[in-house]
Structure 1
Amino acid sequence: MTTESMVPASEFARDDYGINAVTETAMRNYGYVLLAIAGADGEVSHAELDWLLHHQRKFGAPQHVLDDYASFDHRAADIDRLLADIRVDVPTWKAERHLVYHAIRICRADGAYGEAERAKVDRAAELLGVDRGTVLTLHALVDAEDALTNMRKAVFGIDT
């Protein structure tokens, strides 16, 4: 494990994930794992990469970390090695469930989430050791969040 120092995370990271500090390597590797999952079908779509860049920017990743995503070879990713260097300031925080949640999000970024994409998220969850019940719950959580977002947009007349 690395002895790299922690850097402050964004307000978004604190509010949504309870993380106050993280290493740059952790931010980079988290994105790399998501690219490996999103690209399991051979390609990372433009919408998937855009989703990752937007999310990581909100999280507080510096531009040079974001720039690394464009040149990352997701086909050669060693997920176990990448996970080993994901450290945050919360000792009870585990990347695996968060990664499955965000894998669902990134794979839905283009507006379509078919059986093939769901299967690759399910395979990634198995590799990450996330049990099937949790995976089903995470799928339901994302569905519920999207439904609530759509309701909020409807109430406020946002037509996008």
Structure 2
Amino acid sequence: MTTNREIGYLWLFKDKANFGERPTDEAFEGYMKALLICANGDGTLAPEERDWAVGHAAALGASDALVDELKTYKAVDDIEQIITATHESSDSRRYIIYDAVRVCSADGAYSDRERAMVIRMGAKLGISEELVRQIEDICLEEARLREKRLKLLYPEGPPL
């Protein structure tokens, strides 16, 4: 029997990436670790970046064990090894770049150093710099639209 919480996780995956089912725990682990490796690519994993990744994993229904592991994960493993562990995470290489831009921006800045690291990580994943920049443009445009939406819907600021 599917729980209400599982229905919510499936809805989020459908909304986020058009998935028809949740990824395996192994794929989830590889994806989230690869994301933190990208965020740590400039040698600094800001608390806001880790918090974003941990919260993202928890919101999407990662196991408690994985969420706990991500809280202290060093994020220094070889990204290519991590990402190729399962076909689901390997097939999500472009989405890792998308979420890497988002996680690198979680501290309020997407620096040139972070951008260079995302491009390098993309190259390690077989993604061209041009494609990384296209993905980056979408992320940044979505962030601007989010701010515009929030200002329109809550002109006095959020109620909670």
Q: TM-score, normalised by structure 2?
A: 0.84
Counterpart Cα distance in 2 of 1:51 and 1:158: 25
Counterpart Cα distance in 1 of 2:148 and 2:118: 26
Deviating more after overlay: 23-32 vs 79-88: 79-88
Cα deviation 1:81-130 (Å, max 9, x = unaligned): 21122344xxxx82110010011001000001111111111110111111
Counterpart residue number, 1:71: 72
How is 1:20-35 mapped onto 2 (pairs within 5 angstroms)? Answer: 20-35=21-36
Tell me, yes or no, if structure 1 residue 117 matches structure 2 residue 117.
no
Counterpart residue number, 2:126: 129
Structure 1 residue 138 displacement after superposition: 0.8
Counterpart Cα distance in 1 of 2:48 and 2:22: 28
Cα RMSD of the aligned pairs, angstroms, is 2.0
Runs (5+) with no aligned partner, structure 1: 1-6
How is 1:128-147 mapped onto 2 (pairs within 5 angstroms)? Answer: 128-147=125-144
Give SS of 2:71's match. helix
Structure 1 residue 21 displacement after superposition: 2.5
Structure 1 residue 37 displacement after superposition: 1.2
Structure 1 residue 159 displacement after superposition: 3.3
How is 1:82-93 mapped onto 2 (pairs within 5 angstroms)? Answer: 82-88=82-88
CA distance 1:158–1:62, change in 2 (3 Å): farther
Runs (5+) with no aligned partner, structure 2: 1-5
Counterpart Cα distance in 1 of 2:156 and 2:13: 26
Structure 1 residue 31 displacement after superposition: 1.1
Tell me, yes or no, if structure 1 residue 102 matches structure 2 residue 94.
no
Preserved contact between residue 27 and residue 86 of structure 1 (Cα < 8 Å): no
Amino acid at match of 1:115: D
Q: TM-score, normalised by structure 1?
A: 0.84
**Runs of 4+ deviating beyond 6 Å:** none
